[in-house]
Structure 1
Amino acid sequence: MTAEPASDDRLLAGRYALREVLGRGGMGVVWLATDLRLERPVAVKEVTFALHLSDEERRLLRERTMREARTAARLDHPSVTSVYDVVEEDGRPWLVMELVQARSLQEVIDGQGPLPWPAVARIGLDVLAGLTAAHEAGVVHRDVKPANVLVADDGRACLTDFGIATATGDPTITTTGAIIGSPSYMAPERANGQPPGPAVDLWSLGATLWTALEGHPAFARGEPMATLMAVVTEEAPPAPHAGPLEPVLRGLLTKDPAQRTTAQQACRQLQAALDEAQPAPWSPGPAARQPEPPQQVDEVRQDRVERIDAADLRALVAASATVLGTVARDARDQARHLAERRRERRAQATAREEAAAQESAAAQEQAVARERAAAQERERAVAARADQRPRFRFRRRWVVVPVLVVLLVVLAVVAGLVVLAGYLLGWS
């Protein structure tokens, strides 16, 4: 026996009653629905395509979405939103997913601004765990960004929209020549048409963590092509709030995918940072926030899906090559200038060291001379005392001896008188 839909509910595939809209994005609408057969709440993603896409692009994206959604449905991990079912109705894919009571990381950032680094590290570990499970299953998400990371009340995070990524960010150029995705979180190799691999998700994760730490995307420039140009040609700016996570961000945002930090390395670094800290309790609940300046608001919106024509992409690659060539020449000139400065500093340091050595030698010589003079002075003083000591003893002897002689004479006289007196008085 199955539950009955309400009279005003839309019934999808004869099973899923769509209740209300939970959210809207660049490539779809998320509905709160009820699975009438299993009598449980679910989230249903209605995948929609932009009006400017051709019929061939729509067909390709629809087929890829269905294929990737079925692949994602095989994933079973606590850090991945489960895909229960995928159906096609009205010419559009509909994905039936686990309903997670959580807010997107983008909503949390919009509400709180920059998040504390321990909370970002915990979110990063959870998303890494989900990505690792997906990559081991042969699934590349291709659209990791704050809007696709759900954060629960206890701070745990999970990755959602598996299967949608192909529709919103397939890095291959379609038959009509277009690349679709969120420029602020696209890996730079996607602009070069390289086949997508796990490394693209890791770069997007690094950009996502950077946004969570600083409150705005690292490469947002207000316009999609300018943003993608920054992703390809510029290094990520410093993240003042990153704390011990700065090496993780630098490794994940490495331009060369071969040199990029791996999921295992990033996991070890994040866990080590958490083990050495004592993070305070944190919750993604609503919090008051000051209004953002207009530029920052525009930057926050850079996670929306954009379509970039192949001609624009080729122009971007050519411009980036020109920029990189100029940067390389400037880097060579700068390196030559720095080398000359280093040689000058070394020469100056050598001269200072020699002068200091000479001063030290002179000081030592002066100290030795002073010590030698003091020793000679001490020797003269000892000699003088040695010369004076015998004369002093000679004078003392000639004073003491007469006194003793006089005393002896006096004693003898006294003794004689005593004896004489005794004789006279008849003592004897």
Structure 2
Amino acid sequence: MTTAFEELLTGWITRQRWFAGKGRALEKVTVVSDVPLGPGLRHVIVAVRQNGHDDRYQLLIGEREDIPARLAHARIDTTVYDAVHDADKTGFILDAMARDAEVGPLRFRHVPGEVIDTSPRSLVIGAEQSNTSLVFGDSYICKLFRRLIPGVNPELEIVTALARQGSQHVAKPYGWIEIDLDGQNTTLAIMQEFLTAASDGWALALTSVRDLYASMPGVPAGEAGGDFAAEAFRLGAATAQVHRELAAAFPTGVIEAPEIKRMAETFRNRLERAVAEVPELGDHAAVAHEAFDRLADVTGPVPVQRVHGDYHLGQVMRTPTDWVILDFEGEPGQPLEERRALSSPLRDVAGMLRSFDYAARHLLADREDAAELAPRAREWSQRNRMSFLDGYADGGGRLHDDDDVLLRALELTKAVYEVVYEARNRPTWVPIPLSAFRDDG
């Protein structure tokens, strides 16, 4: 029998940004775990059934007789609310991590040797689609994974491993929360250093693009204010360093010709499905087919290792000293085993190259002078792509002549994904990924 609380959640959960089942009929919400954490605070896991399948979500539930105005946006009912927004309650997380507390099935852990200050108050930041991040003062950022996938989250696994190696390109981890789901140790949250003086890579790149577009016609990208090429070089070097550290921390391997052919066939199948959904892509499909044919002819071996898996300018931060890489969760929506699978590090390189192209072109989407500025977009993109690749090679990343074939195929299959995404969500942006298939870029 559905309880009154489950009925409340049924109406509330579908409206949350992090709810992954939008657009599908909700059959049932069932509370599968309800752990009291303290006065007026509970940790709840619910199973949400849609199309006969259950997804589990993590909630912090607060209870107050009178919910103050500052929490009105988090209200679920007259006395029940989403407690991640209540700084009076979330201090429990810091205290429990600091003590390595175990509360029912929940295990709070801190990184050995690290001391957690339990005094900062929290604030929910950002507009993440799948997670909720709480910043505690200027010290920590704690990411709560809303939709729970059984198993250790790749971000916790990778960041803690790199931190043990002394990596300068990850935010220091401080603690995490875990529970057993389906017999597997499952990550509920990870807490890391909050980079107070850092700037988002995407924002920095857009500032450079705007400066170029605002400069006098004919001024080269390298001479316009806010040139980004030096930062792209440093980012390439940092990326190579992290790839080397990942190769040292986790198993590596190689893929041979048969697996490379299967990869090319997978890319080809994705292209065909994309053309069926976005017929406009069909005019450019020959370029991708040629790249995938060349990939199928590679005899190997191709080195593979753990990689970031969802690498772009929005996943990096520029601190006063260097670049820091964030969000090692892998590609959203993919099964955990795929996100943890070994892959070519050029997958990350291709993702960043596509991100440079997006930074250059997306500001043109609604401009009347887009055609006039298009050559400048190509110039900015090419300049920063080459600087990134130079930095990657300088930092020890593998970029031999034979790798060009794989890199080109990886970049085009990423653009195929982008075409479908934009057609579904931002149709006016479809020309951005389509430009990847033109000879002139």
Tell me the TM-score normalized by structure 1. Answer: 0.26
Which protein is richer in strand relative to its size? 2
Which protein is richer in helix relative to its size? 1
Tell me the TM-score normalized by structure 2. Answer: 0.25
Greater Cα radius of gyration, structure 1 or 2: 1
